Amino acid sequence: MALSIAFEISIWITSVCGVLVAAWLLWRARHQPDLRALAGFAVMMALWCSGHLALLHNQETLGMVLVLANPLMPTFFLHFALLFVNEGTEKQPWLTRLIHIMPWIYATSIFIVICSIWAEAGDTVPLMDGRPFFVFNAHGAVNLAYTVLIGVLGHGVLLLGWQQHSGNKKRSILAMFGVAAWGLLLATSFVFPSFGINVFPYPMLLLPSYLLLLVYGVVRYQILDVNRFANRALLALAMMLVVLCVIAVLGAFSGPIGLQALATVPIWQLWLYSLVVLLTAAMVYPWLKRFSERLVFPGAVLNERILDNWNRELNHAGSWQALTLLGEQQLAQHLRQPVPICLEPADVPEELHIVVQKELNGWFAQPVHTNDISPGMRLTLDVFSSLFATQCAALERSLALAETERKRLDEQHLVELGSLSAAMAHELRNPLNIISMASYNSPADTRRHIQEQLTRADRLVSDMLVYSGKLTLQYQPVFIKPLLGSVLSSLNTDNVLITLQIEEQLEVNADPHRLQQVFINLIDNALAFVRNQGDGSICIEAHKENSELACRIHNNGPSLDPSIGQEELFRPFVSKRQGGSGLGLAIVRRILDAHHGQIGHRNDLNWPVTFEIRLPLNPTVQTKGESKDV
């Protein structure tokens, strides 16, 4: 009874798999219509297997009808092959004609099935412990020949498709050919009894694998979840084949090596027992794996969902500070305790933390001070560190791309603004000159007022040209104190105390004309606020700090509006004093950026207002007399 039971179980599994696969394929057919035909093939295989089950349980009439419907299986497969091959490439005329006549092929297959049932093209023979098994009689030759013909035609269509296609579809067709060979091997045992070869069809025990592998061959290179399932299925199939081979070798050599007890056991029982052990081990493996992980790494719960959540959250970071904060939040949420993430060496604590560094071959993250933590927590920190290092590399690339795009947009904006400013200067200065000449016949007070406003308008135009135009830097050594002396001599410093705290030999490699413009704008801006107060004072100090020139311009005028931030302060037309153009600080910022320098505002040096300039003393990208366009 064990032989027939094993066969019946195999047929049952194939039938159930056929129904499940057909349902899944119909669901997938919303996006891939050719899968409907493959679903029909799966349904027909399930019905064909049900016919064998009906015969085993003495339901001869139902069993004969279902088994003799055999031609419909290759018909559905042929339809699928035509649709699958003729999709996505240049249509083949004869394939298109075959698709159009598929209804006639279906009708022919149904006619063959009806004729086979009417002619009683099949019989049963006692096989497998006396239970009935289907065999073709003389009238079944047409049914069998037609089934083989349609199957060969379907595989011929696949062969044509393999020649036409490339990439994933070509590989899918190749996989389907391999599966077809496997199906031929399994189907061979079905026809043996029809030709009087009374050998039990052992290969049919593996019949469930044929349908699953056929579907796998179709979608192997298209659907990720199928790939994962197929990976496990192929592993189980390979293990079963290995077991069959090992048992066969043991059965053949157990007698000569003295294992008489093993030699007396029928080989089919050894196969069956081994497969049961293998299936049982495969079923309990996931639970044993989780148990061993919990035992060796207590407290470590890591799965794809957690890793996907970490990746998704860290991808939201747009800065290094945000990335560090998100990483610490994810760790604290998972481990129930804070774990600092240190990107700066100066911030490294003397406790458990993750240190992140950039090395020559990329980013590297490692947990530190892990002696007192559990193996599970150590595993979690190792996995998270590796993921965090990957995110650091991704953020670095993202920020570099964003900075490149920002510079491109800034340059484009300056080009457009420069063209606009040049056109506006040309259009404005002509009417301004006319107004200036016309004002000579006006009263003195009116003429003076007009001239002041014309001067203001001319300054605005000049500042716009400076801000928006291209800067050409002529680098040469510049002594700071004489340069400031010439600047102060050109400005009206009456009633204001000017103090210089600068060494005589302090020099910097820069463009003297542009640097003079920086000091003029900053000092003139300070004079505008302190000139009208009785104790107006400006102090200018400069000295070397490492490889930089640090220059601070203090004044005791009114403090700046605290609502204006550092970035906003140097934007055009933001901090605008009475009578100014609103471009002075923006021009200063642009000139210093061109020199690779910096400017900032400070109020922590015992002065109400301080502007601090930092310039490299000897820029390595330029030498004496060399120019640079910005």
What whole-number distance in Å separates Cα of residue 617 and Cα of residue 624? Answer: 12
Residue 34 has φ and ψ, to the nearest 5°, of -65, -15
- The full set of domain ranges for the chain reads 2-222, 225-296, 304-396, 470-629
What pLDDT does residue 623 have? 45
Element (H, E) at 380: helix 375-438
Which of 132-141, 360-369, 478-487 is predicted most confidently?
478-487
pLDDT higher than 70, residue 293: no
The pLDDT value given to residue 167: 67
At 538 the pLDDT is 93
Who has greater pLDDT, 151 or 420? 151
Residue, of 142 and 434, whose pLDDT is higher: 142
Task: Map tokens 């139902």 to a residue.
Answer: 62
Q: What is the pLDDT of residue 393?
A: 87
The pLDDT value given to residue 348: 61
Q: Which residue type, as a one-letter code, is found at position 424?
A: M
Residue 111, pLDDT > 90, answer yes
Distances from the Cα of 405 to the Cαs of 259, 319, 400, 412, in angstroms?
Answer: 77, 16, 9, 10
Res 223 pLDDT > 50: no
Q: Which residue has the higher pLDDT, 73 or 377?
A: 73
Q: Is the pLDDT of residue 318 over 70?
A: yes
Q: What is the DSSP string of 573-588?
A: TTS--TTS-S-HHHHH
3-state secondary structure 464-531: HHHHHCCCEEECEEEEHHHHHHHHHHCCCCCCCEEEEEECCCCEEEECHHHHHHHHHHHHHHHHHHHC
- Of the candidates 74, 76, 38, the one whose C-alpha atom is nearest the C-alpha of residue 219 is 38
Least confident of 145-149, 471-475, 620-624: 620-624
Residue type for position 618: N
pLDDT score, position 364:
81
pLDDT of 553 strictly over 90: yes
CA 583, chain centre distance (Å):
44
Cα–Cα dist 398/319, whole Å: 10
For residue 29, give the 3-state DSSP assignment.
coil
Does the structure show a pLDDT above 80 at 465? no
Percent of the chain past pLDDT 90, that is, above it, reads 9
Provide, rounded to the nearest whole percent, the portion of the chain with pLDDT above 70.
73
Contact call for residues 516 and 487 (beta carbons, < 8 A): yes
Q: Supply the pLDDT for residue 91.
A: 66
Region 525-551: what's the mean pLDDT? 88
Give the contacts of 14 (CB within 8 A, at least 6 positions apart): 45, 46, 49, 207, 208, 210, 211
**What contacts 582, CB < 8 A, 6 or more positions away?**
572, 573, 574, 575, 576
**CA Rg value for the chain:** 43
Structural tokens at position 268:
């089919």
Beta pairing class for 598-602 and 537-545: unpaired
Q: Report how far residue 516's alpha carbon sits from residue 252's, in angstroms, rounded to the nearest whole number.
A: 100
Q: Where are the alpha helices (DSSP H) in 165-263?
A: 167-191, 207-219, 224-253, 260-263
Give me the long-range contacts of 22-29 (CB less than 8 A, separation at least 24): 22/46, 25/215, 28/219, 28/223
Report the range out of 47-61, 325-339, 495-509 with the highest average pLDDT.
495-509
pLDDT for the residue 313: 85
| Residue 613: closest CA among 495, 502, 532, 485 | 502
Q: Please answer whether residues 300 and 380 qualify as being in contact, where contact means their C-beta atoms are separated by less than 8 angstroms.
A: yes
Q: Report whether pLDDT(267) > 80.
A: no
What is the average pLDDT across 21-28?
A: 78
The mean per-residue pLDDT over the stretch 140-149 comes to 85
- Cβ neighbors of 421 (< 8 A, separation 6 or more) are 461, 464, 465, 467, 468, 469
Q: Binning pLDDT at 50, 70 and 90, where does residue 517 land? A: confident
Using the predicted structure, report yes or no on whether residue 625 has a pLDDT greater than 70.
Answer: no
pLDDT higher than 70, residue 559: yes
Sign of the C-alpha dihedral computed for residues 201, 202, 203 and 205 taken in this order: positive
Asked whether the beta carbons of 3 and 268 are under 8 A apart, the reply is: yes
pLDDT of residue 225: 45
Residue of 627 and 97 predicted with greater confidence: 97
pLDDT value at residue 221: 46
Q: Which residue is it, tokens 């493996």?
A: 285
Question: Is residue 628 scored above 60 in pLDDT?
Answer: no
The backbone torsions φ and ψ at residue 496, rounded to the nearest 5 degrees and listed phi first, read -125, 130
Burial track 207-232 (b if 16+ CB lie within 10 A, e otherwise) = bbbbbbbbbbbbbbeebeebeeebee
Q: What is the pLDDT of residues 297-306, one digit of tens each?
A: 555 566 677 8
Is the predicted pLDDT of residue 409 greater than 60, yes or no? yes
Whether 262 shows a pLDDT value over 60: the answer reads: yes
**Which option is the CATH number for 470-629: 3.40.50.1000, 3.30.565.10, 3.40.50.740, 3.90.1310.10?**
3.30.565.10
Tokens of 620: 């390595």
The answer to whether residue 514 scores a pLDDT higher than 80 is: yes
Please state, in angstroms and as integers, the Cα–Cα distance from residue 83 to each residue in 91, 150, 152, 484, following that order: 11, 15, 16, 84
Highest mean pLDDT among 170-174, 221-225, 331-335: 331-335
Comparing 318-327, 569-578, 587-596, which segment has the lowest mean pLDDT? 569-578
Cα separation, 439 vs 425, whole angstroms: 21
Least Cα distance to 133 among 40, 37, 67 occurs for 67
pLDDT, the chain, mean: 77
Q: How far apart are CA 377 and CA 297, in angstroms?
A: 8
| CATH topology for the 2-222 domain | Rhopdopsin 7-helix transmembrane proteins (1.20.1070)
Q: Which residue has the higher pLDDT, 611 or 375?
A: 611
Average pLDDT over residues 26-33: 70
CB count in 10 Å sphere of residue 542: 20
Stretch 412-426: mean pLDDT, rounded?
68
